[in-house]
Chain A
């Protein structure tokens, strides 16, 4: 039995990570604007903090909150995905040392490693605050909160559509990739798989344009103010 290619598994994991966010536990709040503002403020604070204590504390607090409110454990998936990516991107920092003369030296150093860890923790912690607040408020509550904060309706609507369509497009890309791989004879290596992915991306762009056109008709059909 043919196993799924790396590209297919990557897409599936990404779609699952995003779909994990839409589990709508949703506390019913009459005014979700304040919790939304709080979650946004905390996310930014943690993202731009220095050191590792604040992000570590934020991450642990989110873990405790998820246990207290019995949030589905799936919220950890996007956090791990972000942590993995941030760790991958920041890993070179551990090997870059700034000398007193201002030049760079490639050598494993404690300061660089600390910066890499701090960056990874900040990314993971700010993601965990964001995802935990989404799980608590629910997407609807969070979007209502944004409206309550007087964020322009157009931006809120665009955010809603992004949240709606990104997992859909990922799933569609996965189906397209699997359909292409099903017609490949023999084992699909990493190189072939990524080449197929490139054709999928091109196809998605075209389909995206087509879908956007039909989405516009759908909006028009039920909008009493859209010309």
Chain B
């Protein structure tokens, strides 16, 4: 098991309890989504799971061992993308953002430069490298934030609301990145309000409500379960609702338009 959180409790100083016995698991080659209403503690859960916050009680295990004991070097294998890219980007230029962690791993600046340019080329960021991050658009900042984490090839990717405020084209690019990470046997933990995004990438889904995680079942089971979705304050994916509205009796409830199309053709 790549990551597991067992009965995690967390409270901010002088604040209410945000996480109350939350437990989840995530394996390599798996995409796990955490959904929940606003203010339910998704970001806090992700921060705890990545070791950036320490739980009051409970434990977070990374590859079977306590994550706390493996820090800070375990961060080499964990990539966290913040919900607000302005929180994540703090270097003078986009180039420096991508190079930040690499410079801690490699001694050759030439090698750092080569790898940054290679990834920038792949993610179509080359024209942004010399610009200060705060001068970029929201979409560009998000791509730089994502690139700054992908550059050091972590085993575990943690993405907090990765498609928030993105156009559908940019959101589709994020979907491709997540699928590619899964294909490369990485673990991906995402939090999201975007049911379409979750439907297109997640293998399993947890619902976070009042500090507790529910579900942990397959995406199909959770995203078509009205009770669980009501806990998350979300509606089922459009494809599922369309199938229901059309009175289609399908063996496998569709989560995406592609699945609906395939089911109709079959």
Contacts and interface: CB of A to CB of B under 8 A. Distances in A.
Interface of A: 22, 24, 139-140, 143, 160-161, 163-164, 167-168, 211, 214-215, 217-227
Contacts of B96: 140
Nearest to A161: B90
B241 interface: no
Interface SS of chain B: mixed
B72 A215 contact: no
Interface string B64-107: 00000001110110111010100111111100100011001100
B132 interface: yes
Contacts, number: 67
A224 B104 contact: yes
B72 A226 contact: yes
Interface of B: 47, 50, 52-53, 71-73, 75-76, 78-80, 82, 84, 87-93, 96, 100-101, 104-105, 130, 132, 134, 148-149
A223 B104 contact: yes
Nearest to B87: A214
Contact of B130 (A24, A143, A161): A24
Contact of B50 (A163, A214, A221, A227): A221
Nearest to A143: B92
A224 B92 contact: no
B132 A223 contact: no
A224 B90 contact: no
A218 B87 CA distance: 7
A168 B132 CA distance: 12
A140 B95 CA distance: 11
A140 B132 CA distance: 11
Nearest to B97: A222
Contact of A222 (B87, B92, B130, B148): B148
Contacts of B91: 160
Given A218-B88, A221-B50, A227-B71, A140 B93 contact: yes
A214 B82 contact: yes
Given A24-B130, A164-B134, A217-B52, A223 B90 contact: no
Contact of A22 (B72, B75, B132): B132
18 contacts: A24-B93, A139-B92, A140-B93, A140-B96, A143-B92, A163-B92, A218-B87, A218-B88, A218-B90, A220-B72, A221-B79, A221-B88, A222-B75, A222-B149, A223-B104, A224-B75, A225-B104, A227-B72
B12 to A, nearest CB: 10
Contacts of B71: 227
B154 to A, nearest CB: 10
Nearest to A222: B101
B87 A224 contact: no
Q: Which 8 A-B pairs have the closest CB atoms?
A: A221-B80, A214-B87, A222-B101, A217-B52, A218-B88, A224-B104, A140-B92, A139-B92
B129 to A, nearest CB: 12
A168 B134 contact: yes
Contacts of B50: 221
A151 B107 CA distance: 20
